Amino acid sequence: MAEAQEASQGFRPAQFAGSWYPGDRRELEKFVDELLAAAKAPELPGPPVAVIAPHAGYRYSAAVAAAGYRSLQGRECRRVVALAFSHHRAGTYRGVDVPRHLPAYETPLGPVPVDREVCEALLKKKGFVTNPNVDRGEHSLELQLPFLQRTLREFRLVPLHVGRMSDEDYVQAAEGLLPFLDDRTVVVVSSDGTHFGPDYGYEPFRDDIPNRLRELADRAAAPLLNADYDGFAAHLEQTGDTICGRGPILLLMRILSMQGGAEGVRAAFDTSGRQTGDTRNSVTYQSFVFARRVAKLDQAARKALLKLAREAIQARLTGRPLPKADPAQLPESARIKGACFVTLMNHGELRGCIGTMTAAGPLAEAVIDNAVSACADFRFAGQPVTAAEMEQIDLEISFLGPLRRVSRIEEIVVGRHGLLISRGGHRGVLLPQVAYERGWRRTEFLAQTCRKAGLPSDAWTQPDTNIELFEAEVFGERD
C-alpha cells in the first residue's frame, strides 16, 4: 500500500528494504549509525570529493561501505552525483541514463529529493539519455542512499546509471558533469569488486584463494589511489577482473583526471568468502575516498602571484617599469624558489605560454619574467598581445615540481603529470592541463608531446628518446 502511494507521488519506491537492508526506519538508523560510529575515517589531504562504496546486501558489504562514508560525516554538501549502473540493462543502451521527471527516491528513512535542475541540464548534453525503467529492480544506487541520509542529511541527488561507454564517451560524460561539481558536491560511485568462482564464470586461480583475492584487489586499487584512468582500464583488460561497477568507476577516474587529479585512500576491504568461510564463490568489497592533492601554495600566495603576473604584463605593454618581487610583500608560501609557466588565454584561445622547467631563483621572479615573455610569445609574433586586449586576457600559472625520468610509461598519470620529451636537439613540453582538459589517454599524451618536440608521434617508443614527467599546481584568475 505504501509502495503504491509513493509510486503515485512519482517517487521511486524502496525496492530492497526489508530484504537487502532493514526495512524499519528505527532499525535502519541504528544499524547504519552503529557501523559509522565503529568505522575510522581515513586520513585525507583535504575534504572528500568522491567515494566508491559496495552495494551488496548490508549483511555482507555495509561495514566496508560505512568505512568510506565515515569521511562524509560533517561534510557540508548540497548535492550528490551518484554513479550507479543496471546489472540487467547496462548493456542495452549507450551513454549515461538520467531519470526524467522523477522527483525523489524513497527509503525507510524518508524521501531523497532529486536535483531536477541538474538532471534537465544534463539531458540537453550529448551522451546523456533517458531509458524508462532502467532502475526498476536495480539495487546499485538504492543501497547507497541510507548511508548518505545518515551522513549528509540534507542534499539533492543526481541519480545516474552508466551504460555502454567508449573512451570518448567517458570524456564526453565527464565534460558534461564538470560544471556541476563544485566544492559542495560529492560524487558517489557504486561498485562491488571481483566476483570470483564458478557461479560468476571467473576462476583465474584455484589455490590460496583468500590471498590471491587480496592480491587481485590490491592490483585493482593501485591505479584508483592515483585517480589513474589508464591504469584502471589496463587492469581490467589484462586480468578480466569482474568488477561490476567498472563503468561508473571509469567515469569517476575520467572526472578526477579532468579536474587535475586526486589522492585516493582505501578505507576498507573484505570478501564474502571470508565472512562465510566458503571461498568457492566470493565477492570482494572495497571502499575508497578521494580528495584533492595537497598544494604547496595557499590561496593568498596564488592570488599574489597572479597579481604580479598581470602587473608585469601591463607594465611591459605600456612601457612602465616592471614590478618588483619584494619577499616582504608576499605571503609566506610564495617566498620559495621555483619554476613555472605563465599561460595567457583570450576567451579560450591561447595567446601565449612561456616558462622554465627548473628553478633558477625565487618563484615570484620567475612569474614576472615568464609573464613578460608570454605576452611576446614568438608563435604570435604577427599578432602579439596588446594593452587594449588585457581586459579579455585570463592568466594561468603552472607551478612546476621537479623533473623525474620515466622508466615505464605506466608511471605517467593523465591529470597528475606533465611531460618533457627530448631526443638529440629536439625537445617538447606539454603541461598537465593540456592532457587532462582534452581527456587524452596516456599514449595520446606521449604522441602529442613528441609532435610538440618536432619528433615522429611514435618517438616515445624508441630507446634513445628521453621521457621525463613532472607535477604542477595549476591555478588561474578564473578559479
**Domain parsing of the chain, residue ranges:** 2-291, 299-399, 404-474
Strand 128-129 to strand 96-97: parallel, antiparallel, or no bridges (unpaired)?
A: parallel
Question: What pLDDT, on a 0 to 100 scale, did the predictor assign at position 478?
Answer: 83
Residue 395: C-alpha distances to residues 86, 99, 386, 474 (Å): 43, 39, 14, 11
Cβ contact 61:285 at 8 Å: yes
Question: What pLDDT, on a 0 to 100 scale, did the predictor assign at position 133?
Answer: 87
Phi-psi region for residue 324, left (φ > 0), alpha (ψ -120 to 50) or beta?
A: beta
C-alpha torsion angle, residues 250, 251, 255, 258 (rounded to 10): 60
Residue 245: C-alpha distances to residues 85, 160, 193, 468 (Å): 7, 12, 8, 34
**What stretches of 182-228 show up as alpha helix (H) in DSSP?**
209-225
Residue 108: C-alpha distances to residues 28, 105, 172, 223, 443 (Å): 8, 10, 36, 36, 48
Question: What pLDDT, on a 0 to 100 scale, did the predictor assign at position 2?
Answer: 40
Q: 404-474 has which CATH code?
A: 3.30.1490.150
Write out the chain's pLDDT in tens, 479 residues. 344 434 447 899 999 999 999 999 999 999 999 999 999 988 999 999 999 999 999 999 999 999 999 999 988 899 999 999 999 999 999 999 999 999 999 999 999 999 999 999 999 999 999 998 899 999 999 999 999 999 998 999 999 999 999 999 999 999 999 999 999 999 999 999 999 999 999 999 999 999 999 999 999 999 999 999 999 999 999 999 999 999 999 999 999 999 999 999 999 999 999 999 999 999 999 999 999 998 999 999 999 999 999 999 999 999 999 999 999 999 999 999 999 999 999 998 999 999 999 999 999 999 999 999 999 999 998 899 999 999 999 999 999 999 999 999 999 999 999 999 999 999 999 999 999 999 999 999 999 999 999 999 999 999 999 999 999 999 999 87
Phi-psi region for residue 389, left (φ > 0), alpha (ψ -120 to 50) or beta?
A: alpha
**Cα 337 vs. chain centroid, distance in angstroms?**
30
Burial of 193 (0-12, 13-18, 19+ CB in 10 A): buried
Place of cell 507521488: 9
Query: How many CB atoms are closer than 10 A to CB 239?
Result: 15
Which CATH superfamily, name and number, covers 2-291? Answer: LigB-like (3.40.830.10)
Beta strands in 103-259 (DSSP E): 104-107, 110-113, 128-129, 156-162, 185-190, 195-196
Nearest to 155 by CA among 147, 163, 166: 147
Question: What pLDDT, on a 0 to 100 scale, did the predictor assign at position 153?
Answer: 80
Nearest to 388 by CA among 346, 327, 432, 340: 346
What secondary structure letter does DSSP report for 354?
Answer: E
Q: 299-399 has which CATH code?
A: 3.30.700.20
Task: Please enumerate in sequence order all residues whose Cβ is within 8 A of that of 55, keeping only pairs 6 or more positions apart, or say none.
Answer: 61, 65, 84, 139, 140, 141, 143, 144, 190, 191, 192, 245
Q: What b-and-e string marks burial along 268-283, b requiring 16 or more CB atoms within 10 Å of the CB?
A: bbbbbbbeeeebebbb
Task: Please enumerate in sequence order all residues whose Cβ is within 8 A of that of 357, keeping only pairs 6 or more positions apart, or say none.
Answer: 339, 400, 403, 420, 429, 470
Nearest to 413 by CA among 229, 237, 171: 229
What secondary structure letter does DSSP report for 161?
Answer: E
**What stretches of 378-471 show up as alpha helix (H) in DSSP?**
432-436, 442-452
| Cα gap 180→477, rounded to integer Å | 19
* Residue type present at position 283: V
Report phi then psi at 121, rounded to 5: -65, -40
